[in-house]
Chain A
């Protein structure tokens, strides 16, 4: 009962347009006031424990690194690099968009950052080169889902914080699914572009241009490799690696590409402060929400229900996929992870799933929610760029989202896709 009470009030407040953090807070306040006023005293403790996290420092630092890369000219060079890479395959900006998302995803921990960084450059230039606006926006948001699946990933860090799993192992669990999504999306975009004649006319392959774009791009490309390497081999924590990423972006931006200015650093810090605070406040208020659920033993009730069903493992995986997609459609990624993990993980473990596989399922599933209305943060970010109604962006993205759904089903029924790589590294 407690769960339905809390959820109904949460959705009611949220759809009225109250900021999500305060909608969650308001539903908790309503519940506590009517059911357990003595628990009010723990309200601030739980909000604090959500916000006071060494692990989560990685989030603002990855955001900052991404911002500095945009203003420091690194993002531009990644895109130039991708243009050269797809040239031999007669690929167009559609393919560039996806490959650039995979590389950018290796730096930014968030899909929303991916949409705004690449979208602001690629959407206008795709439209100029003959892509329909819907397709330009759709490919951008669909490929940006990889931002939070390919390591590093802020949502993975939140999942690690709640499940206690190792961040390095989780990052590796997301690598293969992320790459799979990239490859399948490339196939789909290539096929559609071919049919609709979006591909550019054959241009001459100039070896010199190719080499120079690659050489200029290498410093930009080294960063994701380095960051992922550090975290996955346990050399440093996620937060420390994010610190290195910022340091690297500053060095490359100031000294190598010479496009970064102190004013831009200040602006980046300003944006980071706002974004980080707005995400962490949600995490803080969600902590009390989930605490109430545990006090009321909701996870045990849910676990008991699913255990009694006694289904084959693939059936439970697919049911949970549906549940993740459903929740992801209405709730933002971080509260969804905080809500679902304590309730569903014990069930999954009882059915023999590893916390790594479930983590990857949840991340891939919730990433899809970023591009589905009514609540899709990537859709919102894209709307800020091109002012297109989010429903139209979604229509443009739909063909590529099918790839995400296929990968989600694959990783749900084939554990090796998510556990093989971490095991290979010794986790």
Chain B
């Protein structure tokens, strides 16, 4: 009975975020943080074991605990255990959990500006964009409007590509008339619609069968998803367009963050920056491996030339304008983004 009570108290503390340690603080030479108190950060994300996000988060948790001498522990919940990405972000806003990572922008729709189609085409351009002052400015808005702080911004899963079962796609006109399955995200739907394809939504778990039975002609996903879900078995034509990437913000509850001693804030931020670099490296490695599998499976993978990419970008101009009209970004910010990308080449 006694042990049971202890277990309950322990779990109570771990969910309340900040542990009130009853033992007296001891300041020793090895432990410069002893007087600062102990903190637990519950962090959730939706990716399964072995995914770059999971691996990089585990590294982050290890780094933080090590460098704070165990005074900040990260309680990781992977695999969507705490809910969907939308639900987890709501939990961060409410302060029920302290952090989450994932491509979820419903509280900060301005982040969608980084998902404009055909904006970037290389890793260095993505990095330049995510490390820019513009990105920092957009992240800072989150604190005012929703009470979250974005402590790092990396890549959510690699460039998204499209495929179909009808014909090779080399120019925008090739997409016209195709029925593309999307996840319903605004910038994705707008992209296909402005090029002349129709969009349809099919649950991710039923997509393989939907492509096989031609309920949809094509789909768009990063290489890694195409490989894991074996879409290459039911799709013939792929194009390495790198048409879109999703930023992967690491949201932290602002009230909790501001209650942290500055030393810990600094350590966590540093660890998060290192995690971003590590995460993006893992994503690139996985993407390359996945692309190899797809090629070996006998699919046609076409790589467009710079001119062809320009044609796609021009065809998507209406998407840029629509996003400006809806207040996701301003014309000045669009120009700034294009300049950052230009300089990163």
Binds B, one of A34-42, A377-385, A399-407: A34-42
**How far is A13 from B305 in the complex, measured between Cα atoms in Å?**
68
Binds A, one of B186-194, B202-210, B294-302: B202-210
**How far is A200 from B81 in the complex, measured between Cα atoms in Å?**
57
Q: Does B285 contact A (CB under 8 A)?
A: no
| Chain A interface, number of residues (Cβ within 8 angstroms) | 34
**How far is A41 from B96 in the complex, measured between Cα atoms in Å?**
7
Check if A38 sits within 8 Å of B96, measured CB to CB: yes
Check if A168 sits within 8 Å of B87, measured CB to CB: no
Which of A46, A295, A299 has a CB less than 8 Å from the CB of B15?
A295
**Which residue of chain A has the shortest Cβ distance to B83 in the bound complex?**
A49
Q: Does A2 contact B (CB under 8 A)?
A: yes
**How far is A294 from B91 in the complex, measured between Cα atoms in Å?**
15
**How far is A36 from B12 in the complex, measured between Cα atoms in Å?**
5
**How far is A54 from B94 in the complex, measured between Cα atoms in Å?**
26
Check if A168 sits within 8 Å of B206, measured CB to CB: yes
**How far is A266 from B91 in the complex, measured between Cα atoms in Å?**
41
Q: Does A45 contact B (CB under 8 A)?
A: yes
A88 to B: closest C-beta gap in Å? 38
Check if B96 sits within 8 Å of A42, measured CB to CB: yes
Assuming the contacts A1-B7, A42-B94, asked whether A166 and B206 have C-beta atoms less than 8 A apart, the reply is yes
Q: Does B262 contact A (CB under 8 A)?
A: no
Check if B91 sits within 8 Å of A45, measured CB to CB: yes
**How far is A69 from B202 in the complex, measured between Cα atoms in Å?**
29
Instruction: Kindly identify, within residues 275 to 311 of chain A, every residue whose CB is under 8 Å from any CB belonging to chain B.
Output: 291, 294-296, 299
**How far is A234 from B212 in the complex, measured between Cα atoms in Å?**
8
A243 to B: closest C-beta gap in Å? 16
Which of A34, A164, A166, A294 has a CB less than 8 Å from the CB of B209?
A166
**Which residue of chain A has the shortest Cβ distance to B90 in the bound complex?**
A45
Q: Does A426 contact B (CB under 8 A)?
A: yes
**How far is A35 from B10 in the complex, measured between Cα atoms in Å?**
10
**How far is A418 from B71 in the complex, measured between Cα atoms in Å?**
50
**Per-position binary interface string of chain B over residues 73-106, scored 1 when its CB falls under 8 Å from any chain A CB and 0 otherwise:** 0000100011110010011001110000000000
Q: Does A427 contact B (CB under 8 A)?
A: yes
Assuming the contacts A35-B11, A36-B15, A234-B213, asked whether A46 and B83 have C-beta atoms less than 8 A apart, the reply is yes
**Per-position binary interface string of chain B over residues 213-225, scored 1 when its CB falls under 8 Å from any chain A CB and 0 otherwise:** 1010000000000
A238 to B: closest C-beta gap in Å? 9
**Which residue of chain B has the shortest Cβ distance to A236 in the bound complex?**
B215
**How far is A169 from B213 in the complex, measured between Cα atoms in Å?**
14
**How far is A2 from B12 in the complex, measured between Cα atoms in Å?**
11
CB-defined contacts of A234 to chain B, threshold 8 Å: 206, 208-210, 212-213, 215
CB-defined contacts of A294 to chain B, threshold 8 Å: 77, 81-82
B319 to A: closest C-beta gap in Å? 26
Task: Classify the interface of chain B: helix, strand, loop or mixed.
Answer: helix
Which of A41, A169, A426 has a CB less than 8 Å from the CB of B212?
A426
Q: Does A361 contact B (CB under 8 A)?
A: no
Q: Does A324 contact B (CB under 8 A)?
A: no
**How far is A2 from B8 in the complex, measured between Cα atoms in Å?**
8
Instruction: Kindly identify, within residues 144 to 200 of chain B, every residue whose CB is under 8 Å from any CB belonging to chain A.
Output: none
Which of A5, A39, A41, A45 has a CB less than 8 Å from the CB of B87?
A45
Q: Does B16 contact A (CB under 8 A)?
A: yes
Q: Does B24 contact A (CB under 8 A)?
A: no
A225 to B: closest C-beta gap in Å? 17
CB-defined contacts of A55 to chain B, threshold 8 Å: 203
B192 to A: closest C-beta gap in Å? 21
CB-defined contacts of B12 to chain A, threshold 8 Å: 35-36
A244 to B: closest C-beta gap in Å? 14
A68 to B: closest C-beta gap in Å? 27
**Which residue of chain A has the shortest Cβ distance to B81 in the bound complex?**
A294
Q: Does A120 contact B (CB under 8 A)?
A: no
Name the residue in A35, A38, A49 with the highest tally of chain B Cβ atoms < 10 Å from its Cβ.
A38
Check if A168 sits within 8 Å of B94, measured CB to CB: no
CB-defined contacts of B16 to chain A, threshold 8 Å: 36, 38
Check if B11 sits within 8 Å of A2, measured CB to CB: yes
Q: Does A398 contact B (CB under 8 A)?
A: no
CB-defined contacts of A38 to chain B, threshold 8 Å: 15-17, 95-96
Q: Does B4 contact A (CB under 8 A)?
A: yes
**How far is A39 from B16 in the complex, measured between Cα atoms in Å?**
9
**How far is A279 from B203 in the complex, measured between Cα atoms in Å?**
23
A160 to B: closest C-beta gap in Å? 7
Check if A1 sits within 8 Å of B8, measured CB to CB: yes
CB-defined contacts of A2 to chain B, threshold 8 Å: 8, 11
CB-defined contacts of A49 to chain B, threshold 8 Å: 83-84, 87
Which of A36, A42, A427 has a CB less than 8 Å from the CB of B11?
A36
CB-defined contacts of B87 to chain A, threshold 8 Å: 45-46, 49
Given A1-B4, A1-B8, A41-B96, 12 new contacts (CB under 8 A)? A1-B11, A2-B11, A34-B8, A35-B8, A36-B16, A166-B205, A167-B205, A168-B206, A168-B209, A295-B82, A426-B212, A427-B208
Q: Which 10 pairs of residues, A with B, have the shortest CB-CB distance?
A: A234-B209, A294-B81, A36-B15, A41-B94, A234-B213, A234-B210, A166-B205, A1-B7, A42-B96, A35-B12
Q: Can you list 8 contacts pairing A with B, beta carbon distance less than 8 Å?
A: A36-B11, A38-B95, A41-B95, A233-B213, A234-B210, A234-B213, A237-B203, A295-B77
